[in-house]
Amino acid sequence: MEKVNIVLVGFGRVGRAFFDLLKEKYDYCRERYGLLLELRGIVRKKGTILLSSTQRVLSPSYFATEDLHDLAEWIPAITLSDLLEEFGSGVLVDCTPTNLITGEPGLSVMKMALEKGWHVVTASKGALVLKPEELKNLAKEKKLLIKASGATAAALPTLDIGMYSLAGTEILAIEGILNGTTNYILTRMAEGLTYKKALEEAQEKGIAEPDPSLDVEGWDTAAKMVLIANQVLGTELKLSDVKVSGIQGISHEVIDKAGKLGKILKLFGKCYRQGPDSAWKVEVGLALLDYEHPLARVDGTNKGIIFYTDSMGWVAVTGGKSDPRGAAAALLKDVISIYWHNF
């Protein structure tokens, strides 16, 4: 058995779902992987909850009796730094909100974790998009890992496929439906709902962000595609290199027109280059897909990615619907993959 210290930062929808999932999967991870996934503390803006000290050891029975969602006693005096130092090493799970302008608070949280010898598993995109080199170099220097499935379409495997399953192939292009909110809105509008109503539904389901502008304006898709390309293709693309348009305010007329042409309308991310010596480009915008396209039938909150390769043909993965539980599961997968060496 290996004991794994976990510190969770951020306790919004995804952070809470991760807390719940860890509780649910504690026994399974012990039995299946020989990992004791011990949540030591939760840190958020209003304070910290210390879940395990020498006196208070976290266990499934603890989980069964406590509901932290409503616990009022967040202790401002205990800082993230205290917590990381007290437990020495482990994995920090970053569920802070994405900020594509400053990268904060994720950037500071991730840097602190790496500096103090903790691996990082993150659902937050800002820091990785804005400061990839700084974070990568720090992790390398400290011999630690940064895992970002949660930031790259979460329950839909993207990096794992590109890095492991397609190793040795030359990837010629990548396309994806990487945002659940926009895919849900387009699906529901094709069924007759207005844009406003479809967006409200996506928010009620916890798929869209409380401020859905990153989703509907295409920036969430752009950030995910940049992260995937930079890791899988080794590019150094920035968000400012991406041509982005979204679906905000899209009318029924546009959707009906697609139907009349016998096509399916999707918010699509594309990463491609004209030839082996040309620069990689990323674009995000509405695309008219033929019914035969492998991603054409990816509906609702589901997502999909397709890699075109030189030696494995095209490889597509679909599903991995967007919701907090799916995002939490992607985080858990990354934690397991750091410590379980039988992949």
Residue 175 or residue 209: which is nearer to ligand HSE going by CB?
209
Instruction: Quote the Cα angle for 106-209-7, to 5°.
Output: 35
Per-residue interface string for the shown chain with ligand HSE, residues 214-233, x marking contact by CB under 6 A: -x----x-------------
Closer residue to ligand HSE (CB): 52 or 124: 124
> Which of residues 5, 52, 302, 322 is near ligand HSE by CB under 6 A?
322
Distance separating alpha carbons of residues 294 and 62, to the nearest angstrom: 46
- 116, 224, 303, 321: the catalytic one is 224
**Shortest Å distance, C-beta 220 to ligand HSE:** 5
Q: Smallest distance from the beta carbon of 179 to ligand HSE, in angstroms?
A: 5
Residue 175's nearest CA partner among 252, 243, 229, 103 is: 229
- Which DSSP string corresponds to 227-259? HHHHHHT-----GGG-EE---TT--HHHHHHHH
Which residue in 38, 160, 209, 299 binds ligand HSE (CB under 6 A)? 209
Out of 122, 124, 149, 179, the residue judged to bind ligand HSE by CB under 6 A: 179
**Residue among 273, 74, 257 at smallest CA distance from 170:** 273
State yes or no: residue 180 binds ligand HSE (CB under 6 A). yes
Q: Does 135 bind ligand HSE (CB under 6 A)?
A: no
Rg of the chain over Cα atoms, rounded to whole angstroms, equals 20
The separation between CA 223 and the C-alpha centre of its own chain, rounded to angstroms, equals: 10
Stretch that binds ligand HSE, among 81-89, 133-141, 179-187, 270-278 (CB under 6 A): 179-187
Among 186, 208, 271, 335, binds ligand HSE (CB under 6 A): 208
Sheet holding 35-44, edge to edge: 47-50, 35-44, 2-9, 90-94, 118-122, 146-147
Are the CB atoms for 142 and 114 separated by under 8 Å? yes
Minimum Å distance from CB 11 to ligand HSE? 16
Identify the residue among 7, 22, 35, 207 touching ligand HSE (CB under 6 A). 207
Contact status: 160 vs ligand HSE (CB under 6 A)? no
C-alpha to C-alpha distance for 157 and 172, rounded to whole angstroms: 19
CA distance 97 to 172: 32
Instruction: Report the distance separating Cα 263 and Cα 99, nearest Å.
Output: 34
Residue with Cβ nearer ligand HSE (20 or 66): 20
Give yes or no: 224 in active site. Answer: yes
Catalytic residues: 224
Residues that bind ligand HSE (CB under 6 A): 179-181, 207-209, 215, 220, 322
